Amino acid sequence: MNTIQFLRENSNLPGPRGNLTLLYEFSRDAKEGDIQQCLNYITPDVSNSPEEFVGMCGIVSYSIAHRNDVEQVLSFLKPYASHSSWRIREAVAISIQEISEGNLKEVLSGMQRFIDGNEFEKRAVVAGLCEPKLLKDREGNLRILSILYTISKGLDHDRKLDDGGTSLRKALGYGWSVVVSAIPDDGKKIFGKLFDLSGKHITWIIRENLKKNRLQKMDAEWVEDCLKRVMS
């Protein structure tokens, strides 16, 4: 059985959950030839199939294999961030996480192309960077909080969201809590700036984050005060 056939047969797709354990195992040691074969399985309409999983493996493994060239990887990832398949989009977020370990400053410096992009591209930034294993130093955490605020401001309105906007709002609905809990003093101050914005989407983002247990454990009194503010 060749590598691609093995990935397809053990993908767990179609189904609710792909085989992420296999994805990580393959991606960390993949050979260039196998990576290119995996990428060939990505089509515009691939969805909930073994082929979709193989495509995910291609994206993540390419990113890891070329992680020493952050600019190249980010340019490679950007088109996939808006793919019709949510799993392909998730592979982009996973890839950002993987290349950010040990390269966070370089990744953050290259994020502007995503921040200036569409809602799906912005969602990749939020889902990729709001990861506990990346939130190790104050400087990096502050830069991520600044990015979250910049992206959140784009939802300061009451218009109906399209699929990209809905996906972005969902990511912001938990991402803030991950970063705030990693840097409480600064995080609470910057999260508080959301109250200066308006609109139902910002209110939703605030409320969703305040529901998270990680913030309750961090500072229950602060959470209660924030809830009173958002309800007033």
- Over residues 2-14, mean pLDDT: 96
Whole-number pLDDT of residue 94: 98
Give the residue ranges of DSSP H helices in 66-182: 70-77, 86-100, 104-109, 112-115, 119-129, 138-153, 163-182
Q: Which two tokens stand for residue 47?
A: 């969805």
Q: How far apart are the first and last CA of the chain?
A: 62
Summarize pLDDT for 95-104 with one digit per residue, the tens: 999 999 999 9
Summarize pLDDT for 113-142 with one digit per residue, the tens: 999 999 999 999 999 999 999 999 999 999
Is pLDDT of 163 > 70?
Answer: yes
- The C-alpha torsion from 106 through 111 and 113 to 116, rounded to 10°, is -150
Whole-number pLDDT of residue 232: 77
Q: How confident is the model at residue 161 (pLDDT cuts 50, 70, 90)?
A: very high
Write down the pTM of the prediction: 0.96
Q: How confident is the model at residue 231 (pLDDT cuts 50, 70, 90)?
A: confident
- Nearest Cα to Cα of residue 189 among 132, 137, 141: 141
